[in-house]
Structure 1
Amino acid sequence: MADRLEFEKRLWDEGYQRVMGLDEVGRGCLSGPVVAAGVIFNEGTDIKAIRDSKTLSLEERNELCSIIKSESAFWTIKWCDPEEIDELNILWASIKAMQKCAEADGADPDYLLVDGNRFGSTIQPHTCIVGGDDRSMSIAAASIIAKVYRDEWMMNLHEDYPDYGWDTNVGYPTQKHFQGLKEYGITKYHRRSFKLRTEKERED
């Protein structure tokens, strides 16, 4: 079994006490925000069930989300909405959402573990880890609470916009989503900078 505390242990041994794992979800979606989360665990915390959110069932994610929130020293969720995504592009909107987590009131991280290979300019010490959501417990925890939050957000939006399949695809490109776009047009929650296969505006 992979040691998902390898990075945290090394940093704790070096004297860092508030190591924040950062991850985002929703980069590949056609609609909705890109959502990031940041999680800090107290030194020595080891919750072995935490792993990449994409490998967990809905029930497992929801259960772990509650455990993470109760067992962590700090957690936060931030996002960039479709307008910011269209303005910045999805990569920089994702980075901005993670930076918002690092700068959240009460966070005060002294080191950042970031999923991916880029984080932008910051004076904060950090390490980017490709595949970090399955190599770092802190990053995996962030991926879980971000996904639970975003999925619930999109499922709630489905109640008002039932034509795009957001209750199941949560904004990702699927046949149902493209069919809804073709028939009913773009909502204010769609990312206009993405290939939506329609120029049709929806009137609400």
Structure 2
Amino acid sequence: MKMTINEIKERLQYVTDYEDEFLLACQADERKGVQLAVKQWQKRQVAKQKLYDRYQRMNQLEENYATTYSLIAGIDEVGRGPLAGPVVAAAVILDQDKQILGLNDSKKLSLAKRVELFTKIKKEAVAVGIGVVSAEEIDKYNILGATKIAMKKAVSNLNKQPELLLVDAVQLQTPIPQETIIKGDLKSNSIAAASIIAKVTRDEMMVEYGREFPGYGFANNAGYGTKEHLEAMKRLGITPIHRRSFSPVKKYI
């Protein structure tokens, strides 16, 4: 008795080799549904290969330094531009024996993919550290200074001491050797992982702030100066999480 189309689709989920006997048998099956299932399998393999190729390309920095350093932390931040909320940084030491496919600049990923990768990173990374600096501290130290503080906090919150820091576009004052990488979240898996951890963490914080301070749309705009947010400041005034040193927040103080 022939397998049903659904049974074939289910079994193809576990096929990884183009020379697999079951796949070859499916290719010889003339039923349209089976041929469609084979085409879908082929598309998935192409997509997986692209993810693998990008992972390998973005792992060159880590591989180059791995001959000298075994614990390499990627560092990135999110939240430099918003009018409200903290700046959040993350430091991630990836396990080079565990590939996490799909890593990329967090801004280029969907919410669902960011959350999926966030969970994988937290589970499989050697260490993850997060640093949060409040709006009040941003006003005190300026956004660049606050960003550096958040990054150093993230490093200090790692449960393992890194031997090298790969930092996205910022130079830190630290005794730990470091490399500053421009657009690092597109060039390094470790930095990309840090960008995802920081982004998901901050977005979740802004959802909570949205509940605490309704009317500003924080859950949707993450504190950025959207039309809804600007109109809310004009109508409701500012909150304790607004950055008073930022324009146009200043005029509502």
Same fold (TM over 0.5): yes
* Partner-residue secondary structure (3-state), 2:66: helix
Cα offset for 1:198?
Answer: 5.3
In the TM superposition, what whole-angstrom CA distance separates every residue of 1:132-190 from its partner, at most 9, and x where no partner exists?
01110000001001100100110111112121111110101111111011111111000
Relative to the length of structure 2, the TM-score reads 0.75
Cα deviation for residue 199 of structure 1 reads 3.4
Counterpart AA for 1:56: L
Alignment partner, residue 139 of structure 1: 191
Render the CA deviation track for 1:53-110: whole Å, top value 9, x for unaligned: 0000000000000000111000011111011100110011001100111122523011
Q: Would the aligned equivalents of 1:181 and 1:196 in 2 still touch at CA under 8 Å?
A: no
Match of 1:153 among 200, 205, 208: 205
Question: Equivalents in 2 of 1:12, 1:198: separation in Å?
Answer: 47
Partner of 1:194: 246
1:11 to 65, 69, 76: 65
List runs of 5+ in structure 2 lacking aligned partners: 1-52
For the residues of structure 2 that align with 1:70 and 1:9, how far apart are their CA atoms? Answer: 22
2:96 is matched with 43
Displacement over 4 Å in runs of 4+: none
- The 1:197/1:87 distance shift into structure 2, 3 A limit, reads closer
In 1, the alpha carbon distance for the partners of 2:158 and 2:198 equals 18
Q: How many residues align?
A: 199
Question: 1:32·1:82 contact (CA, 8 Å) conserved in 2?
Answer: yes
Q: Secondary structure at the match of 2:165?
A: strand
Separation in 2, partners of 1:197, 1:41: 39
Specify which of 207, 214, 225 is matched with residue 162 of structure 1: 214
1:70 and 1:189 map into 2 onto residues whose CA distance is: 31
Residue type matched to 1:11 in 2? Y
Indicate the larger mover: 133-142 or 153-162.
153-162
Q: Using a 3 Å threshold, how does the CA distance of structure 1 residues 87 and 108 change in structure 2: closer, same or farther? A: same
Identity across matched positions, percent: 43
Give yes or no for the alignment of 1:95 onto 2:148: yes
**1:196 offset after TM fit, Å?**
2.4
Higher relative contact order (CA 8 A, sep 6+): 1
* Max Rg structure: 2
- Paired residue type of 2:198: A
Structure 2 CA distance, aligned partners of 1:166 and 1:65? 21
Counterpart Cα distance in 2 of 1:113 and 1:105: 14
Shifted more, 97-106 versus 136-145: the winner is: 97-106
Query: Is the helix fraction higher in 1 or 2?
Result: 2
The residue type paired with residue 142 of structure 2 is N
* Corresponding residue SS for 1:188: coil
Q: Give the corresponding residue for 2:50.
A: none
Distance of aligned partners of 1:105 and 1:133 in 2 relative to their CA distance in 1, 3 Å threshold: closer
Contact conserved, 1:37 with 1:77, CA < 8 A, in 2?
yes
CA gap of 1:105–1:59, structure 2 versus 1, over 3 A, is closer
Secondary structure of 1:70's partner? Answer: helix
Determine the C-alpha separation between the residues in 1 that align with 2:139 and 2:249.
16
